[in-house]
Amino acid sequence: MKKTIFEGAAVAIITPFTEDGVNYGELGRIIEDQISAGTDAIVITGTTGESSTMSDEEHKEAIRYTVEKVAGRVPVIAGTGSNETAYAIQLSQYAEKVGADGLLLVTPYYNKCSQKGLVAHYTAIADAVNIPIVLYNVPSRTGVFIQISALLELAKHPNIVAIKEASGDLSHVAKLRAALGDALDIYSGNDDQIVPILSLGGKGVISVLSNVAPRDTHNICQLYFDGKVKEAADLQISYIDLISALFCEVNPIPVKVAMRMLGYEAGPLRLPLCEMEPAHEELLRNAMKAHNLIK
């Protein structure tokens, strides 16, 4: 059996920006607060981290800084996916070199490659590194769905150990689990499906909610692991209003605004992402107040 990178809740951490670059001091503050609150792993430069608008230098430095700041206290998983295989390899090798514990590789976007192309893409990256890889199935963003037939092939690779499943299709997750068994760990990519995916053998969640409620997101998983299934489900259900508010506009717009509400210097969103509509911001503010996160 392959080694599990983490169990529980990994935060898909935001990247705080200044007008000129990455605010590393504030990123360090957020990392420390996350670890103190029980976050089980940190995912840097993922979708929530606005990696698609970061320069190559920023992308690499954010990974290096996070690995150094975390200093082995929890696993660090670096988002190094790209729709250009050669660039994904370059980023992945860099992340390995600076000490990342694993990689998160989104499906190639825009190209809309075939399943054969997906297998070739991921195999080429996995052959180029020696750290574990989490595949990322998020067809709503990329236009590509990793089919079970491709996963059966990819799961044979020793470095491909898990999948972040964000299709929203629980039936697919059940079929995936039935087909692959323990060959790939499964992580929920949706905060409203943590307990259902845990019930299908999932290992945890890569979470947006963890940015603003790290302790309780961890607790949803831990309660489930401790056999307190009803308590885990009740806790997740209690957060549905905030989860909905965090996705009332495209991620990471709402969570970046929510982090500002919490007093973090999250900084601006980078175009083409823009500020929230006032009505949505009010919805988010009210949900944050309902959970006593702000006054």
Rg (C-alpha) for the chain, rounded Å, is 18
Alpha carbon dihedral 205, 211, 213, 215, in 10-degree steps, equals 70
**From CA 109, how far away is CA 129, in angstroms rounded?**
22
Residue 178: alpha-carbon gap to chain centroid? 24
Q: Is the peptide bond before 132 cis (omega within 30 degrees of 0)?
A: no
How far apart are the C-alpha atoms of 294 and 213, rounded to whole Å? 12
Q: Which of 136, 187, 224, 239 is catalytic?
A: 136
Give the integer Cα–Cα distance in Å for 190 and 209: 9
The SS3 of residue 27 is helix
Q: Which of 164, 187, 256, 264 is catalytic?
A: 164
* Cβ contacts of 262 within 8 Å, gap of 6 or more: 212, 288, 293, 294
Active site residue 136: yes
Is 230 part of the annotated catalytic residue set?
A: no
The DSSP secondary-structure symbol of 280 reads H
**Catalytic site residues?**
136, 164
